[in-house]
Structure 1
Amino acid sequence: MTTENAIQPRQLGSTGPTVFPLALGCMGMSGLYGSSDDDESIATIHAAIDRGVTLLDTGDFYACGHNEMLIGRALKDRRDRAMLSVKFGALRSPDGGFIGIDGRPASVKNFAAYSLNRLGVEHIDIYRLARLDPNVPIEDTIGAIADLVQAGYVRHIGLSEVGAQTIRRAHAVHPISDLQIEYSLIDRGPETEIFPVLEELGIGVTAYGVLSRGLLSGSIPTASNDFRASLPRFSGENMVQNQRLVEQLKQIAAEKKVTPTQIAIAWVLAKSTKIVPVIGARKRTQLSESLAALEVNLSSQDLADIEAVIAPSAIAGTRYNEPQMKMLDSETA
C-alpha cells in the first residue's frame, strides 16, 4: 500500500513554487463548518508544518479576517517554513453574508495591504481573486497583482474557479502559477475543458473540495452555523441518495484497509503529479488521517475500478446553491 515516491514535492505549474504534495486549507478553522478552536487550529498548523506541509491556503474574507490573523499567530516563529496562498475580492456584510466581488485594481492593492498586515508578513506567496468580477476585465485585475509582484509584495499569481477563456486571458498578462478549483471523485468537470488548457499553458492545480466538503468522508452538518446545511448535496432527499454513494466508497476503502477520506485524497493525488490537493483539516486528528493518504498507492486499475463505482452523474445536487453557482466562471465557460 505504500510507494517510495509518495512524498515527492510537486511544482505548481512551470513558474510556480515547489511544495509538499498536500496543502493545508485553513477556512474551517474560522467557524464555517461549525464551532472551531483557535488553540487547536494553531496546533494543527504547527503539526502540518512539522510533518512537511509547506503551503497554507486562506482567504481574507474567511470570517472577515479572522483566518488570516489566526495564521499570522501560528506563523510568528516559523514564517520561513510556510508559503501562503491568499484569496481576495469577496465582499462581506456585517452579518457574514456575501455581497459581491471586487476585482478593481485599486481594490486589489487595498486588499493586499490589509492581508499583509493581518498575516504579519512582508509578502504573499500566491495571490488570487476568489471569483471572477464580471464588471472588471481579468486583464485589469491580473495587471494590478503583477504590480504587486514587481513591488515585491507578491511572489506568484494564481486563479480561482475560472474557465478556459479567462485562464488564457489572465496568463497572457502575467504567468499564472496555478488554478484553484474544486475537484474530486464526484466533481470532475474541470477534466473536459479546463485541465487541457492548464496543461497547454504550464499551469498547476490546487484542488479544493477533494472530500466534497466532507460528503465523501461521511461527515454530516449538525451545527446551526455549519454552512454546508444550506448546500443542495446536504439537503433532504439529495443527502439520502448521496449517502448511498458514500457507502460504496466505504466498501472500497475497507477492502484497501484505509478510510474513505484517504481513498478520496489518494485518488486526486494519483490523477496527476501537477495537482496539489488542499486538505481542510482543522484538527490534528483530521490532519493525520489526511496525510496518511500519501501512503495509499492506487494503480491505474484501482482508479478505473473506483471511478466505475463512484460516478459523478450519480451525485444528487450541485456543489453550491444557485446564486453561488452563477458566480462561478468555471461553470459557465
Structure 2
Amino acid sequence: MQRITLAPGYEISRVIRGGWQLAGGHGDIDRTTAVEDMVAFADAGITTFDCADIYTGVEELIGQFRLRYRDLRGEEALSRIRVHTKFVPDLAVLPTISKAYVEGVIDTSLKRLNLETLDLVQFHWWAYDIPGWLETAGWLKELQDEGKIGKVSATNFDSDHIEALFEAGIPLTSLQLQYSLLDRRPEKRMVSLAQNKGFALFCYGTVAGGFLSDKWLGVTEPEHPLENRSLTKYKLIIDDIGGWDLFQALLATLRRIADRHQTDIATVASAAMLRKPGVAAVIVGARNRDHLPSNLAISDITLSQQDLAEIDGVLAQARALDGDVYTLERDRTGRHGSIMKYNLNKGPDEGRNKGE
C-alpha cells in the first residue's frame, strides 16, 4: 500500500477506508466482526479510516477497533492508525451555533474514538446563506490550539470559501470532495488551489456509487426510481455529462484497461484518480473485507500513458458539470439538491445519522 506524508510526522495510506457503510440504514452490523474487518484492513496496509460524528455508531466502532488493535499489535502499530472524522453541525443548529456546541461535539468524538487528540477533523457547513461558517472554523482552530484537534480540514467546501478560510488565517491540511472520472468539477479551480495553498485532496465517489463497475457494463439504462439515493445522485451526473451511451463508452474503455492489468473496472476508476495532481488519497466504502484485495490493488496498479490517454479520449466528449465543488448539491431547489437529506432533530449525543 502506497503511503503519503501530509505534514511532518503525519503519514496516511493512499487508500482510506470509508465508514459510511457501517452507519445506520445499511443493514445490521455485527460489531465484533466489524472490528476484526478493520484489523484486517490495517494489517494489509490500509491504516487510515474515515468517519463522521453523524455516521451513527461508526466512531464508537473505530474506537473499539483502536483498542483491539493496540492489544493485538502493540502501541507502535497503533501509532500508524489515523482516524479522519468530520464535524457536521445540524442544519437547524447553524443559525445559533456556538463554540460550546462545537466543543461538545468534538468532546463526544474524542470519547467515542478513545483519543486524547483527534487526528484530523473535516468541517462541513450545509448552507452558505446561513452565516457563521467562518467563525465556526475559527473555533475549530482554537480547539486545535488547545490540543483537542490535530489537524483542521474541510469537506465539500467550494473554491471561494476555501480561499476565504486561508485568508482568515485558518490553513487546512486537506479537503474531502467528490472527484471521479465522471465528476471533474474540482479541475476547474480546486486542484490548482490545493497545489497553491498546499492542502491535500481526498476523493470520495471514485466509483460513482457503484456505477463505475463491471456490474453496469452493457446494461440497459435504468429507470427511476433507482435502488438508493447514492445511485440517484450519480445517475444525474451521468445524465448531465452526456448520457448513458457516453457512460457505456467509458465503461468499455475501462474494461479494456482492466483486462491489461488483470483487474476490474472499479479498481481502474479509483487508480486513475490517484494519478490526478493534488490527490493524496481515495476513500473506498466497505461494509466488510470482501473487497479488500481490490482495495489494495488500487495503489498497486501503474496505469500507462496509453491507458490514461484512452480514458481522456472518451471524457473529451463529456459536457462539463455546472458550478464548483458541491455547488449542484447545495442548490436545494435543483435536481441534485432535491435528493439531499438533512437530519435536523438529533444532537451528537443521540447519534446523528449521515446528513448528506
Do the aligned residues in 2 keep the contact of 1:40 with 1:282 (CA within 8 Å)?
Answer: no
Alignment of 1:283-294 (within 5 A): 283-294=288-299
Q: Distance in 1 between matches of 2:238 and 2:152?
A: 40
- 1:6-65 CA distances to partner (integer Å, 9 max, x unpaired)? x442123x57832122111111112455555434432221111112223211011113xx
Q: Distance in 2 between matches of 1:116 and 1:236?
A: 39
Do the aligned residues in 2 keep the contact of 1:249 with 1:310 (CA within 8 Å)?
Answer: no
In structure 2, the residue matched to 1:278 is 283
User: Is structure 2 residue 307 aligned with structure 1 residue 302?
Assistant: yes
Q: Distance in 1 between matches of 2:47 and 2:296?
A: 13
Gap runs ≥5 in structure 2 = 70-77, 217-221, 341-356
Q: 1:267 aligns with which of 263, 272, 282?
A: 272
User: Is structure 2 residue 59 aligned with structure 1 residue 60?
Assistant: no
Q: Distance in 1 between matches of 2:92 and 2:316?
A: 34
Do the aligned residues in 2 keep the contact of 1:60 with 1:87 (CA within 8 Å)?
Answer: yes
Q: 1:126 aligns with which of 116, 120, 125?
A: 120
User: Is structure 2 residue 18 aligned with structure 1 residue 25?
Assistant: yes
Q: 2:61 aligns with which of 70, 73, 76?
A: 70
User: Is structure 2 residue 185 aligned with structure 1 residue 209?
Assistant: no
Question: RMSD across aligned C-alpha pairs, in angstroms?
Answer: 3.5
Q: % of aligned pairs identical? A: 24
- Greater shift in the superposed pair: 207-216 or 126-135: 126-135
User: Is structure 2 residue 176 aligned with structure 1 residue 194?
Assistant: no
- Greater shift in the superposed pair: 40-49 or 131-140: 131-140
Q: How far has the Cα of 1:225 moved from its partner? A: 8.4
Q: Residues 190, 52 of structure 1: CA spacing in aligned structure 2 closer, same or farther, 3 A cutoff?
A: same
Q: Distance in 2 between matches of 1:52 and 1:149?
A: 28
Q: Distance in 1 between matches of 2:41 and 2:320?
A: 32
Amino acid at match of 1:43: E
- 1:45-103 CA distances to partner (integer Å, 9 max, x unpaired)? 1111112223211011113xx11111111111335331111112242xxxxxx767576
Q: Distance in 2 between matches of 1:165 and 1:121?
A: 33
Q: Distance in 2 between matches of 1:166 and 1:152?
A: 25
Q: Distance in 2 between matches of 1:202 and 1:236?
A: 31
In structure 2, the residue matched to 1:89 is 88
Q: 1:175 aligns with which of 165, 171, 175?
A: 171
Q: Choose 1 or 2 for highest CA Rg.
A: 2
Q: Residues 32, 186 of structure 1: CA spacing in aligned structure 2 closer, same or farther, 3 A cutoff?
A: farther
User: Is structure 2 residue 133 aligned with structure 1 residue 138?
Assistant: yes
Gap runs ≥5 in structure 1 = 1-6, 92-97, 329-333
- 1:140-166 CA distances to partner (integer Å, 9 max, x unpaired)? 122111111111111001011111221
- 1:153-194 CA distances to partner (integer Å, 9 max, x unpaired)? 110010111112211221232221001101111111101111
Q: How far has the Cα of 1:119 moved from its partner? A: 1.7
SS in 2 for 1:53: coil
* TM-score normalised over the length of structure 1: 0.80
Q: Distance in 2 between matches of 1:35 and 1:22?
A: 25
Q: Distance in 1 between matches of 2:53 and 2:25?
A: 14
User: Is structure 2 residue 318 aligned with structure 1 residue 313?
Assistant: yes
Amino acid at match of 1:55: T
User: Is structure 2 residue 14 aligned with structure 1 residue 9?
Assistant: no
- Greater shift in the superposed pair: 31-40 or 208-217: 31-40
Count of equivalent residues: 312
Q: Residues 255, 236 of structure 1: CA spacing in aligned structure 2 closer, same or farther, 3 A cutoff?
A: closer
